[in-house]
A and B are shown apart, each in its own frame.
Chain A
């Protein structure tokens, strides 16, 4: 069977100069890295499922920048994207993940017992704790590229795996397309429901195609363990609860994730993973652990302190508004989470959150009493 891509080959009729995107007003990782030479070198390539360079970069071309965050500006369409287009992805990954090199190895550690402490974050300040990650099922294209048939297979496999969970993980699946109004209301009140993406970062990458076909939400009866199917990744796995017991959240996260992985493996569908990039996900920013462990914490005084940003940087943490990425904080309550994803393990990253949040709560208390916090400023982790 000839291996070709009619549309991509057709574009080769035009010179590199004619096809190269205008990135002069752009500020994202892709735009910083991509040159005409690189474009010329990679434009005739495609992955085994037909994902091309223009597919990789479309979202970055269409979205020059973002007011709050330095966006990545490129996505993978399948596992092989990261290999076929490594001339672009490797430097983007290095830029985004603190100098991570093409030869570096990533460590996976989902043994929650390796976490020290984390069960006693002060609930007067820490309102809720949450850990999320993503997983991709080997052998299928990723959300920017997958067909309806593939997406439905992923949904089917996910639902089968989740249906066999029991004990604290026993739960139910709610497909988006056949949700009743009552179910929808409930999921919104629980803050579980995800909606059709409106962010142009996602829609320009093609992730909203065929919505809501093949999409759904699964959660356990206790409402502390949640899986999103076919949103920005094949699976997004979330463990959460009110209060500051991050240790418990992380325990449930690790146990649940490993149970799910076992079931998938039994059916010969492992997760996409390799020893260089860790878990493979749609967005290069989520490679490695794909993990974002965070809390909603009250820091009205610390957040107005001139050294706030510096402290976060040193603690390797980042802040977001309580609506998640793309939002501003409300009422002095911030979403504080790990900044890193690749090059450190799950345990390492959650440890940073636990230790960092403890420190920031101490600082907040000091500031409340009108005391200085200079002696507490940490060294760069």
Chain B
């Protein structure tokens, strides 16, 4: 057994706003670590940079900072521990190398998330028939910093060449959207916008404890309870839902179930199900929040027909209101100017936004240039069951392909403009006419 000390590399990170909560962090080699208590009586994990930590008081004796299990694995060489990725096809498997694994394997985030934790889902799930999966997840906000050597190239690969120095723009002002209230309802059956949000100071679903998850639920409930008017609604906790409530939520297409996808299960997101999971929706059933599914919060605005503008209006208004309610209580969303909103899966960084419609494209979808058109419009297609499903009856889910490097308004604009064009093309093909002159340039 080797006995030389190795640094456990939790690196300090700067955040935009002053942290409300406390930190336990530092490198093994000598910085003192402690458990800090925050002013509102709740303890969270947060990494502060050295200069704004100095005026906090340390509570109690320093706790040993180590990760016994990770240390034990260090007894085996990097080669012995390196996963076999020879049959794998996901972003993580394309990027990770034995040398990179060796450099990162001794590190951990302040809450103890390790490289093996990051990549487990990608090791367990070699590939997917329809989509190029990411193959790695974050366990907390700091994961994206501590393991940047892996996650930066994954992000670049996944998000169209987005560089470590790039800045992401957030724009949740619905007035900036042009048009979008008149998508043809003969073709566009429904419109929907969703995103995710993470509450700063808590670990993410792959890693959070029951105590943390319950706290996220409690805080979310408090915020959602104070919504009024069009947004007034009710929370349905999964663990004590009545049969009647459950049936209603299923009929409304609102209910989410315990994840069955091995992509999610392998990363630990289904632990302790259904503890602290639930669904909130407004009385009008047009605004919906999932609590503690794949992210802390998933926020969804939806309605039948083609009025994407209204859907986006409600989305922005609701989201902004929720964010200010959290801030009033001293909590904010995880966000930084490089990655935008920080979420569990690297594919959802930036806006975390997927805006889409269910639309009828029986002719267009059979056209030889369908995929090409979508690509140029920066859109993607899914089946009407969502990701992992195939289309039924010529009806497709068409949504933005991008998440990071474009603002919310820009992405929804692409959907609005793109869907309008696809509708025109569908109408042309119905009449047996050509669509060549309608082919768009690459956006």
Contact = CB atoms under 8 A, between A and B. Distances in A.
Given A147-B73, A213-B83, A10 B68 contact: no
A50 B73 CA distance: 10
Contact of B124 (A1, A12, A208): A208
Given A1-B3, A10-B111, A18-B211, A58 B271 contact: yes
B116 interface: yes
Given A7-B112, A10-B111, A152 B69 contact: no
Contact of B64 (A2, A10, A13): A2
B255 interface: no
Contact of A6 (B65, B72, B123, B266): B65
Interface string B308-350: 0000000000000000000000000000000000000000000
B108 A21 contact: no
A353 interface: no
Nearest to B36: A13
Contacts of B3: 1
B35 interface: yes
Interface in A1-52: 1-15, 18-22, 46, 48-51
A282 to B, nearest CB: 17
Interface string A142-174: 000101111011000000000000000000000
B112 A5 contact: yes
A37 B271 CA distance: 22
Given A19-B211, A177-B84, A61 B67 contact: no
B83 A148 contact: yes
A3 B76 contact: no
Given A14-B211, A19-B209, A51 B275 contact: no
A209 B124 contact: yes
B52 to A, nearest CB: 20
Given A4-B65, A6-B112, A11 B209 contact: yes
Contact of A14 (B43, B81, B82, B273): B43
A261 interface: no
A62 interface: yes
Interface centre among B3, B64, B75 (most CB of A within 10 A): B64
Interface in B99-148: 108, 110-113, 116, 120, 123-124
A222 interface: no
Given A210-B123, A211-B124, A145 B69 contact: yes
A210 B66 contact: no
B124 A7 contact: no
Contacts of A22: 239, 275
A148 B81 contact: yes
A178 to B, nearest CB: 10
Contact of A13 (B43, B69, B71): B43
Interface residues of B, number: 52
A213 B84 contact: yes
Contacts of B271: 58, 61-62, 204
B83 A5 contact: no
Contacts of A147: 72-73, 76, 81, 116
B60 to A, nearest CB: 11
Contacts of A61: 271-272
A274 interface: no
B80 A50 contact: no
Given A1-B5, A7-B111, A210 B83 contact: yes
A231 interface: no
B210 interface: yes
A54 B209 contact: yes
B275 A4 contact: no
A5 B69 contact: yes
B275 A6 contact: no
- Where chain B touches its partner, the secondary structure class is loop
Nearest to A214: B84
Nearest to A55: B69
Given A6-B112, A147-B76, A148-B80, A62 B273 contact: yes
A147 to B, nearest CB: 5
A49 B69 contact: yes
B108 A6 contact: yes
Interface in B38-82: 43-45, 63-73, 75-77, 80-82
A46 B68 contact: yes
B73 A7 contact: no
B116 A6 contact: no
Contacts of B116: 147
B433 to A, nearest CB: 50
B401 to A, nearest CB: 31
A131 to B, nearest CB: 33
Contacts of B24: 9-10
Contact of B68 (A4, A148, A152, A211): A4
A9 B8 CA distance: 15
A12 to B, nearest CB: 8
A364 to B, nearest CB: 42
A114 interface: no
A313 B45 CA distance: 53
Interface string A207-220: 01111010000000
A156 to B, nearest CB: 10
B265 interface: yes
Contact of B210 (A1, A21, A213): A21
A203 interface: yes
Given A13-B35, A209-B124, A6 B67 contact: yes
A358 to B, nearest CB: 45
Contacts of A46: 68
A52 to B, nearest CB: 9
B117 to A, nearest CB: 9
Contact of A50 (B8, B65, B72, B215): B72
B214 interface: yes
B28 interface: yes
A5 B68 contact: yes
Interface centre among B110, B120, B210, B214 (most CB of A within 10 A): B210
B149 interface: no
B202 to A, nearest CB: 11
B410 to A, nearest CB: 38
A203 B258 CA distance: 14
A21 B272 contact: yes
Nearest to A24: B239
A153 B108 CA distance: 25
B126 to A, nearest CB: 10
B147 to A, nearest CB: 15
A273 B380 CA distance: 57
Interface in B265-304: 265-266, 270-273, 275
A204 B83 CA distance: 21
Contacts of B358: none
Given A18-B210, A19-B209, A62-B273, A4 B43 contact: no
A281 to B, nearest CB: 20
A141 B75 CA distance: 13
11 contacts: A6-B110, A9-B112, A10-B45, A10-B209, A13-B211, A14-B209, A61-B271, A141-B72, A147-B72, A211-B124, A213-B123
Interface of A: 1-15, 18-22, 46, 48-51, 54, 58, 61-62, 141, 145, 147-150, 152-153, 177, 203-204, 208-211, 213
Q: Shortest 8 CB-CB distances between A and B: which pairs?
A: A14-B211, A7-B112, A149-B76, A50-B69, A4-B64, A50-B68, A6-B112, A2-B64
